[in-house]
Amino acid sequence: MAVIVNKSIVFMVYSLLILHSFFIIAHSKKLDDNKPCKRFVLYYHNILFNGTNAANATSATVTNHTQLGNFNHGALVVFDDPMTKDNHLLSPPVARAQGFYFYDMKTTFNAWFSYTLIFNSSEHKGTINIMGADMMDEETRDLSIVGGTGDFFMTRGIATFGGDSVQGSYYFRLQMDIKLYECY
């Protein structure tokens, strides 16, 4: 069976493909790491269940650490933590951080986080998904923002952790500088 191709149709399709490619290139956003499209600072409060604080705990160890080293290697913690605009635990939460972290190094404290920030307020509605390594020996650590929903639909960016307060092994607070570079 012979196929008859109309040259004018081929030329028209080819021209449309070139125009479409030009449109995408001309309208694609160039990311500027000095100018995020949205930026805000939140404080993450984690209160680990210690066997006696069930009323106040926001996280719990679901697997105990192994005997490999002295840095909680293998411990898995699941959390539902409040996020506030200031560093006061009793301030009204603007979001919840829900997910887990586990300790993954034998030679120093290091954790890997995977969680969702859930916003449901008059200011923001939707989620931001964050994951990455929290190298606790560093003054600041960058975790990847890998997506979102609602006001943060398909967002990408960086959440910079800074240790703000540690009180024993059952409470810590992180400052999170959230910089979004793709906003829709």
Residue-wise pLDDT tens for the chain (184 aa)? 555 556 666 555 555 556 555 555 544 555 555 689 999 999 999 998 888 998 998 888 787 766 776 667 768 889 999 999 999 999 999 999 999 988 777 777 788 889 999 998 888 999 999 999 888 778 899 999 999 999 999 999 999 988 777 876 788 899 999 999 998 8
Could you give the C-alpha distances from 56 to 13, 52, 75, 83, 104, in angstroms and in order? 64, 9, 21, 15, 27
Torsion angle, CA of 35/137/146/182, rounded to 10 degrees?
0
Running DSSP on this structure, what letter comes out for residue 49?
Answer: -
| CA 168 – CA 179 distance, rounded (Å) | 30
CB 93 within 8 A of CB 83: yes
Virtual torsion, Cα 153, 88, 54, 68, nearest 10 deg: 80
Selection from 145, 81, 74 nearest residue 110 by Cα: 74
